[in-house]
Amino acid sequence: MFGFGKHKKIARGIAHSIIEPMIKMPFIGSKYAEDNDKQFPPDNFFEDQYVVGFINGFAVGVWNFQFGGQSKSRKQNEEFIFEFWLALRGQSAGKIISMVKNESLKESSLFKEATDAALTCVALDLGLLRSEFNSPLLEEAKTLDPKDLKFLDVKLMDMIDPENPISNTQILSQAAKELSFYKYLNDHFL
């Protein structure tokens, strides 16, 4: 049982934890960062269906899988989403929340693809999904050499099994992120 407002604190924590790896890091050293003298995403970044779908899917995945969000009240879940986007985007959160609540957007193939990729990555990060799970994204991720992953955390490099380099689910999750979210960013923003 959560104490009063704990779900809001969790939402803020998740938002702050993804700023660096999902929002800032992909732009560091990019042409965008050089041209704009900053390391934050372009103005239209949070208007993109795939970006919003992936980030929202990632937050909801962590909330549901790690903190039991699916068993919380509808009000708590709505407050979680609101607080998450408020912590991430401040005053412009309302526009994104409207996007996330829009039923036709949720049904768009781009938003669904992003959300599915994010949920797969969260499940892998938390060790809830095994590499045997059948998914085209996972199948492609398994073919990557972890040493070729651009954003692999240095701590994970020590976990690479030379016999089966992509066996660790956190490494597999990073490979899936690079094949989905980071690839999309590279193709559309960098």
Task: Find where tokens 């990060």 sit.
Answer: 125
pTM score, whole prediction: 0.86
DSSP string, 116-159: HHHHHHHHHHTT-S-TTS--HHHHHHHTS-GGG-TT--HHHHTT
Each residue's pLDDT tens digit, 27-65: 877 777 777 666 567 778 999 999 999 999 999 999 999
Q: Mean pLDDT over residues 166-182, rounded?
A: 82
Each residue's pLDDT tens digit, 60-81: 999 999 998 888 899 999 999 9
Q: Is the pLDDT of residue 3 over 60?
A: no
Looking at every residue in the chain, the average pLDDT score rounds to 84
Q: How many CA atoms lie within 13 A of 93 on its CB side?
A: 16
The dihedrals phi and psi of 4, each to the nearest 5 degrees, come to: -55, 120
- Percentage of the chain beyond pLDDT 70 is 85
- Of how many residues is the chain composed? 190
Residue boundaries of the structural domains of the chain: 6-136
Q: Which two tokens stand for residue 97?
A: 């929340």
| Cβ–Cβ under 8 Å, residues 70 and 64 | yes
